Amino acid sequence: MAPHSPGTDQIDTLLWIGFIAAAIVVVVVNVALFRAVRKYRSERGAEPRQLTSGRGIQFRVAGALTVFAAIVFILAVVFTDKAQQQPTTGAAGLAAAKERPLEIKATGQQWLWRYEYPNGAFSYYKLVVPVDTAVQLNLVSTDVVHTWNVPDLAGKHDAVPGKTNEVVFRADEEGSFGGEAATLSGQAYAAMRTDVEVVSPQAYEAFIEQQQSEIEAAQQRVVGLIENGEVP
Amino acid sequence: MSESPRPELVAEGFPGRPRPRWVELATSADHKDIGRILITGALGFLFLAAVEMLLMRLQLAIPENSFMTPVGFNRMLSTYGVTAIFFFAIPLVMGFFYYVAPLQVGARGTALPRLGQLGLALFGAGTILYYAGFMFTPSEAGVNPLSPLTELAFLSNNGVDAWATATGLATLGFVFLAIDLLTTLRRMRAPGMAWRRVPIFAWAATVGCWLMLAIGPVLLAALTMLMIDRNYDGIFFADGSGGAPLLWQHLSWIFYTGAYMLILIFAFGAIAEIVATFAGKPLFNRPAVMGSLAVIAVVGTLAWMQNMLTAPIGIGWMYFAMLMSLVLVVPFGLILFNLISTLVGGALRMRAPLLFAIGAISMISIGLAAELEQSLVAAAWQIKNTTDATASTHFALVGGAVFGGFAALHYWFPKMTGRTMGEYLSRLSFWTMIVGTLVAFVPLFFAGAEQGQVIDAYKFFSGKGLDAYNLIASIGVLILGIGIVMTLVNAIQSRVNGAEAGHDPWGGDTLEWFTLSPPEPHNFDVLPDVRSTRPMRDIREAIANRTARSEQQARESQPVA
């Protein structure tokens, strides 16, 4: 995974902080454990010392643990807060999204993602967004719980029926970013993938225009067929 | 005039109607029989769970494998989940609590034995029902089957109904066992056995039973709602019609998170007994460990929303879940500190129970550390629902239920059967399992955290840097499975062929070692007055003093030549 959005940059940093905290725990516990086990075998022939501790040591250890947990908590809150902040559209981004982010509705359904753009156009599987532009995905679901998961661009969030969940990101370069749904949603769950194509604002606008006109043409054709009586 | 014979004298020595052993066992309300059945059954299901996991890992050994169909994989996954959690881990925990805790507090039985018997029967009914369901259609909805996938509209065969009924029966059984045991622990302790002197494992049983009383009914309520949804047109968890899919997540995660804590509370209780016994020392600080176990039960369960950090629950609740998870650093840290400090300065006899206990501490520490990272909100957005989560959960629960469970098994096996388990096979099994666990789950950390491999999928795609990790993990699960089977074989063999143990093979400090091995149905002929946290040590000292005194008297009374 390589972060390509301000949010995922922060997440990446927090992952490293979490990894370091976890590594400290693992190393401290296991080194202490194995040193104790190596040193105090009964073979050394000493009588076990009937030691117990007073409260003082326990309070000091608990205090140290509290400080450790508090540091991790504060860092996590700081970076989570940064990660969930709405990014702003940059100079190279879509002009229309300068003030408010570009809102796209993402609907999870067994086993596809459907994306609806502001002009009414929609696409399945493939999401096209402009580069350097703040994008807000409004996640909804029409059937079961799905998780939208494109790790390079944003953290994963659930699409729950009856609720709206938000994902914000700003892609920093053009390209294609893959993703796989991350909550078991039935038999074709493993095939439920998505692809985010980050393109220039012009290409984005061309895409949604073309998509809209093609959809309209198709609808016109169907309406025509029905009116002519060729389709019951 | 001849006296008529007194019936009770005539009946003395009159042979009873012989009944087969299995009838005795099946109809027994003795906590030791029920405990043994629970433990034996749980270990059988451990074997099944290992096989099921191995089959899933076989499917995931190579990319885009077609060994299993998607539906077949989902069924295997659901079956693995229910087997590992409801049919192995929790009954093993409850079985050991139920067998050992009454002996430890000096009770001659349990307070409500018929309730315990009913608990066992319900658990048995749940297992049979689920595995009978396996013959037609098992559930396809996963380990924690999230609604609305479980609604009739999406899974219309009766797999989910079988799942809900089976887990519901088993959970009701656990709740009944917990009620019985809790009553026993509160009302039937030996004279002098104040709460401050209760052995640490019996304390863990107390905390664990309270926890089961709190979380069991929550799951039962959720399952009832699910069954109403599916069979009586309910809308509790259905979307769009006033239902709340997230309600299921809250209720079920309260149970699953509590069960996770229950398993760790059991493991730490058993490890604390074993570490103290094999170091020849008292626990470094009992009150700290006792308090920490209670805090883990409460705060740990309150951290249930840690599993919902990607759901639309609001950032405030996410911070609350993270806070609860990080508060757990203190009690878990204190317990680990006290366990290791108990080893320091001791005279460690490196027998199988201690070996497994140390392995459990090590594996659990890795699992808890990884869980710490999983609880950091934004980090969770990246690594939740990846194989990183699989690995964290398995390090903690394989560490707690399998390593911790095997430590308890090796430790109390002599009490249950009168024989010790073979040391050579134990050691071989231990090292195989350590290697297996590390090889199986460490690669999944990398596959999940680095490459973002998603959880529960029946296949993964090649060309994403996942091939090697998954192959290694599959080999690791095979090794782990072999290690587990070794201990199971060892237990079966040692029941008949093991070395005679005597009543107190390890020099334990608690009252279960005061009884015969295996204990008689009424447990104790006489009960000692409990005057410390280490009653058996007091008894051994008293015997030694008396022997020394009588020897001295014998010497003094000898005539001078």
What are the extents of the domains in chain A? 6-38+56-83, 95-227
Chain B 119-148, residues with CB within 8 Å of chain A CB atoms: 140-142, 146-148
Indicate if the pLDDT at residue B351 is higher than 60.
yes
Mean of all residue pLDDT scores within chain B: 93
Nearest to A160 among B311, B322, B368 (CB): B311
Distance between CA atoms of residues B55 and A127, nearest Å? 36
Residue from A145, A177, A193 whose CB has the most chain B CBs within 10 Å, to mutate: A145
State the maximum Cα–Cα separation within chain B, in Å, rounded to a whole number.
103
Mean pLDDT of B138-161: 91
Give B9's pLDDT tier (boundaries 50, 70, 90).
Answer: low
Q: Give the per-residue pLDDT at A52.
A: 86
In a domain, B220, yes or no: yes
Among the ranges B150-159, B208-217, B239-248, which has the highest mean pLDDT value?
A: B208-217
Mean pLDDT of B405-433: 96
In a domain, B530, yes or no: yes
Distance between CA atoms of residues B134 and B137, nearest Å? 6
Indicate if the pLDDT at residue B418 is higher than 90.
yes
CA B395 to chain A, closest CA, distance in angstroms equals 12
In a domain, B133, yes or no: yes
Indicate if the pLDDT at residue B456 is higher than 70.
yes
For residue B469, the enclosing domain spans: 40-554
In a domain, B11, yes or no: no
Give B376's pLDDT tier (boundaries 50, 70, 90).
Answer: very high
CA-CA-CA-CA torsion sign (B133, B134, B136, B142) = positive
Give residue B182's identity as a one-letter amino acid code.
Answer: L
Residue A162: HSE in the Cβ half-sphere, 13 Å Cα cutoff:
17
Chain B 208-247, residues with CB within 8 Å of chain A CB atoms: 239-240, 243-246
Count of structural domains within chain B: 1
Nearest to B379 among A14, A33, A36 (CB): A14
Percent of chain B past pLDDT 90, that is, above it, reads 84
Q: Do A89 and A97 form a contact (C-beta atoms < 8 A)?
A: yes
Distance between CA atoms of residues B196 and B273, nearest Å? 15
- Tell me the pLDDT tens digit for each residue of A180-191: 999 999 999 999
Indicate if the pLDDT at residue B135 is higher than 80.
no
Q: Give the per-residue pLDDT at B547.
A: 87
In a domain, B25, yes or no: no
According to CATH, the superfamily of the domain at A95-227 is Cupredoxins -  blue copper proteins (2.60.40.420)
- Span of A68-72, B16-20, B29-33, B524-528 with lowest mean pLDDT: B16-20
- Tell me the pLDDT tens digit for each residue of B53-81: 999 999 999 999 999 999 999 999 999 99
Residue listed under structure tokens 């996954």: B77
Query: Whole-structure pTM over 0.90, yes or no?
Result: yes
CATH number at residue B88: 1.20.210.10
Nearest to A47 among B347, B385, B458 (CB): B347
Residue listed under structure tokens 């194509």: A197
Q: Give the per-residue pLDDT at B364.
A: 97
DSSP string, A90-148: -TTS-GGGSSS-EEEEEEEETTEEEEE-TTS-EEESEEEEETT--EEEEEEESSS-EEE
In chain A, the N- to C-terminal Cα span, in Å, equals 51
As averages over each run of 10 residues, the pLDDT of chain A (232 residues) reads 88 95 97 94 84 91 97 96 90 88 95 94 94 94 94 94 92 93 93 94 94 92 86 68
Q: Give the per-residue pLDDT at A230.
A: 77
In a domain, B12, yes or no: no
Chain A CB within 8 Å of residue B310 CB: yes
Chain B 332-351, residues with CB within 8 Å of chain A CB atoms: 333-334, 336-338, 340-341, 343-350
- Tell me the pLDDT tens digit for each residue of B352-366: 999 999 999 999 999
In a domain, B376, yes or no: yes
CA-CA-CA-CA torsion sign (B48, B50, B53, B55) = negative
Q: Give the per-residue pLDDT at B137.
A: 84
In a domain, B18, yes or no: no
Mean pLDDT of B431-455: 95
- Tell me the pLDDT tens digit for each residue of B231-285: 998 889 987 667 789 999 999 999 999 999 999 999 999 999 999 999 999 999 9
Q: Give the per-residue pLDDT at B555.
A: 77
